[in-house]
C-alpha cells in the first residue's frame, strides 16, 4: 500500500467523502480518514486515463506526475545498493579466508566455517531493517508543526468562544450585579446583622431534634447521616415565645419606633434645598437605641419593674455570639456604615 497524495491528506474527511462520491468510488464504508486517503489515491491512480483530464483532479495528478514520494522512498534504492555491495565484500572476504584455511588442520577449518556462517547469518538483519524502512515509507507523513499549531490555535479559540458564550447565557454577571446592588445599602447591612443574631437565637429557643437517618449509599461512597429538624412543637410553649419576643422588642421594634420619631435625616441639606437625604427610619438612631437597650437589659439585668424576665435574658445571653457584647458590636458596625454613607453622599 503506497502513501496517499499530500493533496488528499490536506482535505477534511467530509471533503474526501464528497470526492469519492463524485468519482464513483463507494468502497469507503467503515474506513478511517487515512485509510480513505490511501484507497482513493489507489483508485485515482488506477483510473488515471478516465479522470486525469478533469480540472478538479489536476492537483492530484500534478503531484503524482512529479513523483511525490517521501525522502525515505527516494533514499531506499541507495540503501539497498549500499547493503548489497557490503554483502558482496563480506562474501569475498569469507571465501578468501576459507581458501587460506584449507591447509590448516580440520579443527581450524571447522572454526573458520562456523565464523563464516555466523557472518552470513548476521547479514539478513540488514534486509530486515530495509523491509521495515520500506514499510515506514508507505505510511502517510504527519503535517508540519506549523499546521499542527494552527489547528490547535483554532480549536482553542473555538473552545474559548463557546465557554464565553455559555458564561454570558447563564446570566451570572447580571445576577452578581443585582446581588451587589441589593447588598450595597444600609437596609441590607442591618438585615444581615439582625439575621445573624436571630440565627444564633433559633438554636436556643427552637432546638433541633433527631428526625431520621439517610442510609449508607455504597455507590457514591457515603456513610449514614442523621437528619435533625427544629422541634416545631415548641412554638406552642412560652419557652419559645418569651425569649423571642424580648429579643424582637429590644433589637427591632423599639429601635425602629425611636428611629421613626427621632429622624434627623428628614431635613434637607444646607447646600441644596431641592435634594433630601431622607430615610423613613433614621439608621443612626436605630443603632444607638438598640445598643442602649442591649447594654441596660442584657448587660445590667434591668427588668423595668418586672416587665423583663431575667430567665429569658440569661437564655438570650447564652445564645447570642459573645453574649450581650455581640449586639452592641453589631450596632456599632451599623452606626459606622451610616456615618460613612452620609459622608460619601454629602
**Tens of pLDDT, residues 222-276:** 888 899 999 889 999 999 999 999 999 999 999 999 999 998 876 655 555 554 5
* 31: pLDDT strictly greater than 90: no
CA 256 to CA 135: how far, in whole Å?
A: 90
- Which CA distances in Å does 55 have to 21, 52, 337? 17, 8, 80
**In the chain, how many domains are there?**
4
Give the per-residue pLDDT at 72. 35
Closest CA to 140 of 12, 8, 46, 16: 8
Residues 232 and 93 occupy one common structural domain: no
Residues 159 and 229 occupy one common structural domain: no
Domain that holds residue 207: 185-344
Residues 215 and 315 occupy one common structural domain: yes
Contact 294, 327 (CB under 8 A): yes
CA 205 to CA 271: how far, in whole Å?
A: 50
- Number of residues that make up the chain: 346
CA 203 to CA 192: how far, in whole Å?
A: 17
Which tens digit of pLDDT belongs to each residue from 77-86? Answer: 444 455 556 5
119 grid coordinates: 557472518
Residues 255 and 110 occupy one common structural domain: no
Which tens digit of pLDDT belongs to each residue from 105-160? Answer: 445 545 545 554 554 444 444 445 445 555 555 555 556 777 778 888 888 988 88
71 grid coordinates: 525522502
Give the per-residue pLDDT at 120. 43
Which tens digit of pLDDT belongs to each residue from 151-205? Answer: 888 889 888 888 888 888 888 888 888 888 888 888 899 899 999 999 999 999 9
CA 314 to CA 317: how far, in whole Å?
A: 5
**Which of these three, 15, 45, 65, is where a domain ends?**
65
Residues 253 and 130 occupy one common structural domain: no
Q: For the stretch 185-212, what's the b/e string if a residue is b when 16 or more beta carbons lie within 10 angstroms of its beta carbon? A: ebeebbeebbeebbebbeebbbeeeeee
CA 313 to CA 201: how far, in whole Å?
A: 12
Give the per-residue pLDDT at 37. 84
Closest CA to 190 of 261, 259, 240, 293: 259
* 61: pLDDT strictly greater than 90: no
Residues 306 and 340 occupy one common structural domain: yes
Give the per-residue pLDDT at 315. 93
pLDDT, mean of residues 9-28? 84
* Nearest 10 degrees: Cα torsion 83, 88, 94, 98: 160
Residues 90 and 153 occupy one common structural domain: no
Residue 180 inside a domain? The answer is no
2 grid coordinates: 503506497
Vertex 263, ends 258 and 268: CA angle to 5°? 175
Largest alpha-carbon pair distance within the chain?
140
Residues 98 and 237 occupy one common structural domain: no
Vertex 245, ends 242 and 247: CA angle to 5°? 105
* 317: pLDDT strictly greater than 90: yes
pLDDT, mean of residues 281-307? 93
pLDDT, mean of residues 274-294? 84
Give the per-residue pLDDT at 17. 86
Alpha helices for 66-141 (secondary structure H): 71-100, 106-122, 124-138
Sign of CA dihedral 254, 257, 262, 265: positive
Give the per-residue pLDDT at 125. 47
Q: What is the pTM of this model?
A: 0.49
Residues 202 and 326 occupy one common structural domain: yes
Sign of CA dihedral 327, 333, 336, 342: negative
**Which of these three, 175, 194, 221, is where a domain ends?**
175
pLDDT, mean of residues 308-318? 93
Question: Which residues is 225 bridged to in the sheet?
Answer: 214
* 74: pLDDT strictly greater than 50: no
Residues 164 and 30 occupy one common structural domain: no
Residue 165 inside a domain? The answer is yes
CA 277 to CA 270: how far, in whole Å?
A: 11
Which tens digit of pLDDT belongs to each residue from 327-346? Answer: 999 999 999 999 998 888 77
Residue 325 inside a domain? The answer is yes
Residue 336 inside a domain? The answer is yes
Residues 327 and 190 occupy one common structural domain: yes
Residue 40 inside a domain? The answer is yes
* 76: pLDDT strictly greater than 60: no
Residue 337 inside a domain? The answer is yes
Residue 129 inside a domain? The answer is yes
Residue 1 inside a domain? The answer is no
CA 38 to CA 27: how far, in whole Å?
A: 12
Residues 273 and 234 occupy one common structural domain: yes
Give the E-state strand segments of the chain in sequence order: 208-214, 225-230
CA 127 to CA 188: how far, in whole Å?
A: 85
Amino acid at each position: 500500500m503506497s502513501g496517499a497524495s499530500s493533496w488528499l491528506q490536506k482535505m477534511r474527511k467530509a471533503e474526501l467523502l464528497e470526492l469519492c462520491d463524485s468519482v464513483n468510488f463507494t468502497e469507503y464504508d467503515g474506513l478511517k480518514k487515512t485509510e480513505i486517503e490511501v484507497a482513493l489515491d489507489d483508485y485515482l491512480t488506477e483510473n488515471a486515463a478516465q479522470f486525469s483530464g478533469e480540472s478538479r483532479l489536476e492537483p492530484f495528478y500534478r503531484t503524482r506526475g512529479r513523483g511525490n514520494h517521501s525522502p525515505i522512498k527516494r533514499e531506499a534504492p541507495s540503501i539497498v545498493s549500499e547493503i548489497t555491495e557490503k554483502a558482496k565484500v563480506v562474501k569475498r572476504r569469507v571465501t578468501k579466508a576459507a581458501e587460506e584455511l584449507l591447509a590448516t588442520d580440520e579443527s581450524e577449518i571447522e572454526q573458520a566455517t562456523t565464523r563464516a556462517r555466523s557472518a552470513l547469518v548476521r547479514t539478513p538483519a540488514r534486509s530486515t531493517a530495509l523491509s521495515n524502512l520500506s514499510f515506514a515509507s508507505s505510511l502517510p507523513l504527519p503535517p508540519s508543526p506549523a499546521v499542527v499549531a494552527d489547528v490547535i490555535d483554532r480549536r482553542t479559540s473555538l473552545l474559548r468562544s463557546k465557554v464565553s458564550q455559555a458564561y454570558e447565557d447563564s446570566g451570572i454577571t447580571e445576577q452578581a450585579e443585582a446581588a451587589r446592588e441589593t447588598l450595597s445599602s444600609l437596609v441590607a447591612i442591618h438585615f444581615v446583622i439582625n439575621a445573624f443574631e436571630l440565627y444564633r437565637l433559633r438554636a436556643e429557643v427552637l432546638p433541633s431534634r433527631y428526625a431520621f437517618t439517610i442510609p449508607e449509599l455504597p455507590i457514591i461512597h457515603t456513610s449514614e447521616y442523621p437528619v435533625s429538624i427544629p422541634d416545631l412543637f415548641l412554638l406552642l410553649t412560652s419557652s419559645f415565645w418569651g425569649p423571642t419576643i424580648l429579643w424582637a422588642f429590644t433589637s427591632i421594634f423599639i429601635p425602629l419606633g425611636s428611629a421613626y420619631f427621632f429622624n434627623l435625616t428628614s431635613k434637607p441639606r444646607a447646600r441644596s434645598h431641592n435634594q433630601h437625604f431622607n430615610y423613613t427610619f433614621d439608621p443612626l438612631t436605630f443603632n444607638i437605641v438598640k445598643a442602649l437597650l442591649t447594654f441596660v437589659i442584657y448587660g445590667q439585668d434591668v427588668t423595668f419593674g418586672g416587665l423583663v424576665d431575667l430567665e429569658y435574658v440569661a437564655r438570650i445571653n447564652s445564645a447570642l455570639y459573645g453574649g450581650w457584647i455581640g449586639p452592641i458590636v453589631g450596632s456599632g458596625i451599623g452606626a459606622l456604615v451610616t456615618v460613612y454613607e452620609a459622608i460619601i453622599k454629602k
